[in-house]
Structure 1
């Protein structure tokens, strides 16, 4: 029996080798490097993304995960469908290549007010990895 897979773009602590990768790892069926357009902000122990089609390319990875994997990632990101006040929102996005699209967890522009913008557009580079 085939189970549906969900594509999710990750750009912070869910990246391969990062602190929360273990949450998604058992459910990843495929991984591919990718980029989306937006701005990263430093929230402290993790980044936040605000999408912007006119912005820089944000470096990350596309995971194809099972439904359980998506649920675990929703939990980690503080996202619940139909809830008014989520930590992150899960929205649809296209890779800059145009070859792949899927979900990504984002902050609203209002939530990043006062946060440091990550100018290098890479969480790993920002952290010094």
Structure 2
């Protein structure tokens, strides 16, 4: 890994085929990864949020990104005002994951921690792209 590169774990709209995957177009994909069962994922409507506590593993993808891409990801994620970053240990090394520490409303949990599969189920039910919080 180059001195200015970072590993990032993405689990929502940055995954391949999702709405923001173009931001990782130039990044090196390191493949699928599933975290330890230490998190909770919530459905915020058009995107998910993960909290750094819980009992669910999160499914996603690992990328090696350069400094500019990392800055672009920070901007998309509203870091540090909306999301925070924490490091997780992966087989490829320590990687950043974006987490939200406090939710101000009661949102639906993505029970199995896989945003892509969750959205596919919602699409099949005809309820994706609605604002689905329980507030």
Structure 1 residue ranges, 4+ long, deviating more than 4 angstroms after superposition: none
Shift of 1:15: 0.3
Matching of residues 32-51 of structure 1 within 5 Å? 32-36=31-35, 37=37, 38-51=39-52
Counting matched residue pairs gives: 118
Do the aligned partners of 2:42 and 2:49 also contact (CA within 8 Å) in 1? Answer: yes
SS in 1 for 2:55: coil
Matching of residues 56-71 of structure 1 within 5 Å? 56-71=56-71
Do the aligned partners of 1:41 and 1:112 also contact (CA within 8 Å) in 2? Answer: no
Q: Do structure 1's residue 29 and structure 2's residue 28 form an aligned pair?
A: yes
If the length of structure 1 is used for normalisation, what is the TM-score?
0.82
For structure 1, the 5+ residue unaligned runs are 81-85
For structure 2, the 5+ residue unaligned runs are 122-135
Please tell me the root mean square deviation across aligned C-alpha atoms, in Å: 1.9
Shift of 1:31: 2.2
Distance 1:112 1:62 in 2: 29
SS in 2 for 1:70: helix
